[in-house]
Amino acid sequence: LLQLVESGGGSVQAGGSLTLSCEAEGDTDSRECMGWFRQAPGKEREFVATISTRVGSTYIAAFVSGRFTISQDKEDPHTIYLQMNSVSPEDTAIYYCTARPKCLPHGGSQYEYDDWGQGTVVIVSS
């Protein structure tokens, strides 16, 4: 059993920055891949980024590439971060931490991920 706990959401003005955190507890050995999805009101949950907690390799969705960065804690590789820079109102969403055994080459859909956090809300005002 794996538990994912997100933190760091909140309100920010357009152009600003925000950092989300996710801590994994439990059976972390079975979940090498951790990442983030987001779901805006009225839209499907979409892939944002993943990181291999074993080797540190990352994959970022094209629409946030250059603005968002995913990383892991140096002391605890199953604590990950999403650094969000130059945010816009289009980034307003609930951000979910997720995990699966291995990372997929191109992120994949929400249905290919096994574990989910409760979500953290990000609101970007113009």
The mean pLDDT value for 77-104 works out to 97
Q: What is the mean pLDDT of residues 3-16?
A: 97
Strands of the chain, DSSP E: 2-7, 10-13, 18-26, 33-39, 46-52, 58-60, 68-72, 79-84, 93-100, 115-116, 120-125
The residue-averaged pLDDT of 14-24 equals 98
Each residue's pLDDT tens digit, 37-50: 999 999 999 999 99
Reply yes or no on whether the pLDDT at 1 is more than 90: no
Answer yes or no: is pLDDT of 52 > 90.
Answer: yes
